[in-house]
A = this chain, B = another copy of it.
């Protein structure tokens, strides 16, 4: 067991995220690694290309903090609430700095990541034709189907420099069990050159090995393993804590102005040392309300021959 992979988020970001990198913080609404995004802001990374299907609040914060020069995305909204105001300020008005955009449909972006993870030369897909997106994005091309002669839209693989994937449980080497909405976690881990695994719980290897079908990320992909409970707050972790919806709505108000946004970032990101301090600062009653009642999976028998 190569326990040298175990480190703090501070160490992991310091070692594996560089200025100018293309970064993918994975998770489709679920298990978004907010703690990693905050640490990237604290360490002042800049000129990042931020890739995510749904930039969500985490990229809105990183854009406001000036970390990003480009956004690769497919849906730039505050899910269930409305706009991402920091994204809009940067893109529409260049505040705090201009933001380039590279835009896809959900299928197109998740397809690019899948193609990156599996190293496909390119991925043909039944979408984009008729839409205005290909005209605004040279990476979406049209070719001829060799079987039917029809026009087919294709996208190229996406291979981020670094991906952060938050999981429910991992062993010290990074073998990771994920359940609930599994989004693009597996594809992000396989597509990226460097992978930071962050986990609610670090468990013994035997727990992982008791259910290999549940392992979406095998250890050899992981460059670092961070034990980071509540990493995903205010998003959620199936079976661990619910989404803090109140905060998602509050974000809409916090971000009305760049200044008010930066006050938040000063207090809750730059003003704390790490996720543990952030959680300590957060009202405990609000957190308690996010804890679900237990509902366990029926076990399965793998058998031993």
Contact = CB atoms under 8 A, between A and B. Distances in A.
Contacts of A15: none
Contacts of A302: 179-180, 238-239, 295-297
B119 A179 contact: no
Contacts of A147: 121-122, 141, 156
A101 to B, nearest CB: 21
Contacts of A292: 301, 303-305
A106 interface: no
| Copies of this chain | 2
A177 B119 contact: no
Please tell me the size bucket of the interface on A.
35 or more
Contacts of A303: 238-240, 242, 292-295
A295 B210 contact: yes
Interface in A159-216: 168, 177, 179-180, 182, 207, 210-211, 213-214
A121 B141 contact: no
Interface string A85-125: 00000000000000000000000000000000001111111
A119 B126 CA distance: 9
A131 interface: no
A299 interface: yes
Given A177-B300, A210-B295, A124 B126 contact: no
A254 interface: no
A124 B300 CA distance: 36
Contacts of A301: 239-240, 292, 294-297
A285 interface: no
Contacts of A300: 168, 177, 179, 214, 239, 296-297
A240 B305 CA distance: 10
Contacts of A180: 213, 302
Given A210-B295, A240-B301, A296-B299, 10 more contacts: A120-B125, A121-B145, A146-B154, A179-B300, A210-B298, A239-B300, A242-B303, A294-B301, A294-B303, A299-B299
